[in-house]
A and B are shown apart, each in its own frame.
Chain A
Amino acid sequence: GNSVTQMEGPVTLSEEAFLTINCTYTATGYPSLFWYVQYPGEGLQLLLKATKADDKGSNKGFEATYRKETTSFHLEKGSVQVSDSAVYFCALSVGTGGFKTIFGAGTRLFVKA
């Protein structure tokens, strides 16, 4: 079946630290991969996406590269800010009829000043 596994949180970092949140997936077919972010009290916002192998998605200093050989899509940021504190969800979309999005469990990030 289709599933997403991401590292458990919470992750606590100091401002300007390097961030990595690991994500691996299992999919039947060729998925598109996404990172969504959920700030406190808000909905889900697309952070970045990649639709084929070796694509790099990037936005707001965050990056993730679609690695087909390792079925991974790890999220990275070189220097986090307090405002990056949120829950990050790795997700995939694959299918024939519904193209539903399948989410990982989410990783909560706390950034301290």
Chain B
Amino acid sequence: EPEVTQTPSHQVTQMGQEVILRCVPISNHLYFYWYRQILGQKVEFLVSFYNNEISEKSEIFDDQFSVERPDGSNFTLKIRSTKLEDSAMYFCASSLTGEGTEAFFGQGTRLTVV
């Protein structure tokens, strides 16, 4: 069964460093997303991406964040200068179309900023 793949599963970084989280969405999907879940809290939407551009972003997704689809398969989230409060589980998701279809989630990358 096709699945969304995220790497790495766990990343530890020092405050102020840049990190790139990587995702390979399901191959025929058109919509891509990043979500974040701070430990023990709700899953929060960060950004959606369609047709090679951001279609929506939340207030969490400030200038420190960026997304890119550098080739036909990868979808990345970059945090330019990490802060302690960026420590969270980051989930990538993809969906075939928009309304009415479910998003398929990856296993997540646990980011720890020290």
Where the two chains meet, the residues of A that have a C-beta atom closer than 8 Å to any C-beta of B are 32, 34, 36, 42-46, 49, 51, 89, 93-95, 97-106
Contact = CB atoms under 8 A, between A and B. Distances in A.
Nearest 10 CB-CB pairings of A with B: A98-B56, A98-B48, A99-B98, A43-B107, A44-B105, A97-B55, A103-B43, A98-B55, A105-B42, A100-B45
Contacts of A43: 91, 105-108
Majority SS of interface residues in chain A?
loop
Contact of B104 (A42, A46, A97, A103): A46
A101 B93 contact: yes
B72 interface: no
Contact of B103 (A42, A51, A101, A106): A101
B43 A44 contact: yes
Contacts of A101: 33, 35, 45, 93, 102-103
A44 to B, nearest CB: 4
Contacts, number: 70
B48 A99 contact: yes
B100 interface: yes
Majority SS of interface residues in chain B?
strand
Contacts of A44: 43, 91, 93, 105
Interface residues of B, number: 27
A97 B56 contact: yes
16 contacts: A32-B102, A34-B102, A36-B105, A43-B91, A43-B105, A44-B93, A49-B102, A93-B99, A93-B100, A95-B56, A98-B50, A101-B35, A101-B103, A103-B42, A103-B43, A103-B44
A53 to B, nearest CB: 13
A32 B56 contact: no
